[in-house]
Structures are given as structure tokens and as C-alpha cells.
Amino acid sequence: MDIILKYFSDFSEEQLRQMQALKALYQEWNAKINVISRKDMDNFYEHHVLHSLAIAAAVEFQPDTKVIDIGCGGGFPSVPLAVYFPEAEFLAVDSINKKLTVLKEVAAAAGLKNITTQHTRAEEIKNRKFDFAVSRAVAPLKDLWRWSKPLLKKGMNGEVANGLLCLKGGDLAQEISESNVRPHVMNIHAIFPEDFFAEKYLLHVKA
């Protein structure tokens, strides 16, 4: 938890309580339904929570911002973002229901009221629009954009355009080339200068 407080200090008492509760809750549920590798649990706050909060370091979601987490897995980046932005609304979707079980139980136990789940694929969602789609290492950029583009409404969130925000790692040149979009690429290591974030990036594609 110290590594979170190294970079973020403006938590309310409730947010602090929720952040601190996450590791024990995920450890408990991970023992039943494995969604996080054992090795990663040792570095839970850096590898999962802080990594998710790279989005919060780049974009300030305004109250009532609607966000969809595509392929949310056990709840990253949506759960840490829901703690950080209590006035934004998050929908976490995944095609694997047992992962959503973990997310729902963790969110309920932490007292998160602004995150809901849906057992579906993003491309099957109809008649709903979001300000942002977020994702972490789920699929190639071309697929993420194909899934998220129909779900996004144009507009601005403060000074940032609505769109897709995805966390990626490694050499992205070919993936970006094949996507036929021109994302704004942010180096996470420049935001959080920790070894783990070397060659990790946040991509933003405008709606």
C-alpha cells in the first residue's frame, strides 16, 4: 500500500479504507478462484493497483463519467479506478463468469457502489454508450478498438477527449501499425519511475 501513497495522497478516509482492504479481499478470493498469479500477489499494489491507476494519473474522470472495462478479468483496471473515482460509473464485462464473481464479491465487501458487472462480450452490448473504454492487456489494439468504438460517445472529459484507454507492454510498433489508429502513447515509467513499469504504456485513442 505504501507504493500507492508514494504517488497518490488525496484519498478520503473511505477511499483509504477501500484501497487497504483490496489485498486481503483478493487473497481470500484468489484462493478459491485463481485470477491473479501467486507471484503477483506478493506485489499486488504495484503490479495491479498502481498499474491500473496509471489511467487516473493521466485522466481525471469527471462525476457521472461512464466507463466500460472490456475483459475486466478479476477487476483491473476497473476496481482501483472505481475506488479512486467514486462519482464515476463503471461497468465491468467479461466472458468468463467466475472472474466476475471475484470482482462482485470484492467490490461488495469493499463497499464499492459505483461498479456493476455483465457476463458478456463487449461486442454483444447494444444500445449503451460510454465516455471511456478501459482495458488491460486483453487483446490487440485493433480488436480493442473494433469492440469499443461502437460503444463510445464523442465528447470531452475535462481536457481529455472521450475514447479508449488501454494498458499495454513491450514493443507496440507492429500492433499500432496493424490497428489503423493513431493512439497517443504515454510511457508509464515516466509517471511511476519503478522498474516494473519499464516498457509499459498507456494508449489513448479518441472516440
pLDDT of residue 38 exceeding 90, the answer is no
Phi, psi torsion values for 75, nearest 5 degrees? 125, 25
Give the C-alpha separation, 1 to 120, whole Å: 32
Give the C-alpha separation, 3 to 20, whole Å: 12
Q: What is the pLDDT of residue 40?
A: 82
Which amino acid belongs to residue 68?
A: I
Model-level pTM?
0.96
The residue-averaged pLDDT of 46-52 equals 97
Q: What is the pLDDT of residue 43?
A: 94
Q: What is the pLDDT of residue 158?
A: 85
Question: Could you give all domains of the chain from N- to C-terminal order, each with its CATH number?
Answer: 2-206 (3.40.50.150)
Kindly state the percentage of the chain with pLDDT values over 70.
100
Q: What is the pLDDT of residue 137?
A: 81
Phi, psi torsion values for 43, nearest 5 degrees? -120, 40
Sign of CA pseudo-dihedral 156, 51, 195, 185? negative
- H or E stretch including 26? helix 13-30
Q: What is the pLDDT of residue 34?
A: 87
Q: Express each pLDDT in 123-172 by its tens digit.
A: 999 989 999 999 998 899 999 999 999 999 999 998 899 999 999 999 99
Residues making up the annotated binding site for S-adenosyl-L-methionine are: 71, 76, 122-123, 136
Using alpha carbons only, give the angle 125, 131, 133 rounded to the nearest 5 degrees.
Answer: 60
Residues 6+ apart with CB under 8 A from 33: 98, 99, 101, 102
Q: Express each pLDDT in 73-90 by its tens digit.
A: 999 999 999 999 999 999
Residues making up the annotated binding site are: 71, 76, 122-123, 136
Region of 12 please: left (phi>0), alpha (psi -120 to 50) or beta.
beta
Residues 6+ apart with CB under 8 A from 91: 66, 67, 68, 69, 115, 116, 117, 118, 128, 130
Contact 105, 31 (CB under 8 A): no
